[in-house]
Amino acid sequence: MINIQTIREKDNQILVIGNHEPLIQSILDFDYLSGQKEASVIGIVTGRRGFAKYFWGRGEVLIPTFVSTSKTTTLPAHPNSNLWLLNLTSGRRTLSSTLEFLSLQNSKFIPHNTIIAGASLFAENVPELHSLNIIENNQLAKLIVGPASVGLLVPGFLKLGPIGGITPDQITESHITEKGGVAVMSASGGMTNELINIAISSGHRLSFALSFGGDRFPVLSPRDAFLLAEQDPMTKTVLYYGELGGEDEYELLKLKEENLFTKTVVAHVAGTVASLFPESPQFGHAKAKADTARVTATAKRAALKSAGFQVSNSFSEFIELVNKLK
């Protein structure tokens, strides 16, 4: 899998499947405000061949649009760059469109030294088996966040999704073009932004940020993401947001036990409110339901604490812990 440092060292180019104008514009705004020479979005699969007009600073750019991923014959990919997919298709089509993109690696449309680096899968309601199919096909070769992810952000270099906000105000006020040492990881899209907000307002800047998505089987697991943070020379601290349900936090525990992760972590696991109900309800995200005591928020908080992570007992305390970080 690509490491975060390589994202900083090479050109990043994005193919978008699906159309969401404000979102695509926000990526271009991010590129422009980061001082990049060109827009990272180099093609949009809209179902129609032609061009789409976007703002580039005070000027405009034309981005080629394509009928389908397999017909991106004139995709202007640079040699020696990272090629990313921003997949905005529906939950039902996420699997087929993602596999189609991954298979571009061997196509003649792409300069031979340009690598397919990864993808962000935006859709909710991707069937579990489809996610597992992507995981199996990928075998950790590419950095794929989602499904139900708001994306991946490397300040100054890559904004792959709505992560960090979509209006120019949000991008400047949230300082997401400035580089720092805090990595943000979250199961929830909204909370990814909230954690970014907390880090920034306590005076920190980000090394990278990503959202796993709230599904049962995120392609990039929290364990994989922690390893990315460990290997990243810029990252000093990880802010982690998880929820009740699923076993992912226990995998983090193992990392620590195996001494594969050594950096500072401040973590919050939400979902203690479930105890007000006779039986754990299904909360907003697909994974957010505790069928056994082991996967309640309380149990997972205790487990992470025992591994030596800083774990908050309430979200207010999480904010305090972040404020205390050096």
Partner 1 sequence: MARVKLYEVDAKHLLFPNQLVFSATTKTSSGELTKFFGKQPLVVKVDQGIKKRGKQGLVGVNLQPVEVIARIREWSDRGFSHFIVEPMLAHNPSDEHYLSLERVRGGWKILFSEKGGIDVESNWDQVTDHLPPIIHNSLPIIQQALDKYHISFLELNPVLIDKKGFLTPLDAAALIDDAALGLAELAAVSLTPVADRVMTQAEQEIVKLDDSTPASLKFRLINPAGKIWMFLSGGGASLVLADEVADLGLGSELANYGEYSGAPTDDDVYSYSKIILKEVLKSQTDKKALVIAGGVANFTDVGKTFKGLIRAMDEVKEKLAKSGVKVFVRRGGPNEKRGLAMMEHFLQESHLYGSVHGHETPLTNVVKEVKEYLT
Residue that has been written with the tokens 């880090």 in this structure: 199
Taking CB under 8 A as the criterion, the residue among 283, 296, 309, 321 binding partner 1 is 283
Q: Is 270 in the site for partner 1 (CB under 8 A)?
A: yes
Residue closer to partner 1 by CB (options 204, 285) is 285
Q: Does 214 contact partner 1 by CB under 8 A?
A: yes
In whole angstroms, give the CA distance from residue 163 to residue 309.
25
Phi, psi angles (nearest 5°) of residue 157:
-125, -40
Closest distance to partner 1 from the beta carbon of 126 (Å): 6
Is residue 139 near partner 1 by the rule CB under 8 A?
no
Answer yes or no whether residue 284 interacts with partner 1 by CB under 8 A.
Answer: yes
Quick check: 297 binds partner 1 (CB under 8 A)? yes
Quickly count: other Cβ atoms within 10 Å of residue 21's Cβ: 11
Q: Which stretch binds partner 1 (CB under 8 A): 59-67, 80-88, 128-136, 254-262?
A: 128-136
Q: Which is nearer to partner 1, 67 or 260 (CB)?
A: 260
Please name which of 5, 73, 76, 7 lies closest in space to residue 39, comparing C-alpha atoms: 76
Q: Which of 266, 281, 286 is nearest to 124 (CA)?
A: 286
Please tell me the count of residues contacting partner 1 according to CB under 8 A: 66
Q: How far apart are CA 290 and CA 287, in angstroms?
A: 9
Q: Which stretch binds partner 1 (CB under 8 A): 6-14, 56-64, 211-219, 253-261?
A: 211-219
**DSSP-based three-state secondary structure for 131:** helix
> According to DSSP H, which parts of the chain are helical?
4-9, 21-33, 94-102, 128-138, 168-173, 189-201, 222-231, 248-257, 297-306, 315-324
Asked if 253 interacts with partner 1 (CB under 8 A), we say: no
Distances (CA, A) of 186 to 85, 86, 151: 20, 18, 11
Q: How far is the CB of 174 from partner 1 (least distance, A)?
A: 8
Determine the Cα–Cα distance for residues 177 and 191; give it in Å rounded to an integer: 19
- Residue 135 interacts with partner 1 (CB under 8 A)? yes
User: Of residues 31, 124, 224, 249, which one binds partner 1 by CB under 8 A?
Assistant: 124
Please tell me the number of Cα atoms within 13 Å of 156 on its side-chain side.
12
Residues tagged active-site:
285
Q: Which of 3, 19, 105, 197 binds partner 1 (CB under 8 A)?
A: 197
How far apart are CB 113 and partner 1 at their closest, in Å? 33
Minimum gap (Å) between residue 187 Cβ and partner 1: 7
Can you state the percent helix, strand and coil of the chain, rounding each to 5? 35, 25, 40
Is residue 188 part of the contact set for partner 1 (CB under 8 A)?
yes
Cα distance between residue 156 and residue 83, in whole Å: 17
Kindly state the smallest distance separating residue 127's Cβ from partner 1, in Å. 4
Binding-site ranges for partner 1 (CB under 8 A)? 22-23, 91-92, 124-129, 132, 135, 150, 162-167, 169-170, 173-174, 186-194, 196-198, 201, 214, 216-217, 221, 241, 243, 247, 268, 270-273, 275-277, 281-289, 297, 313-316, 319
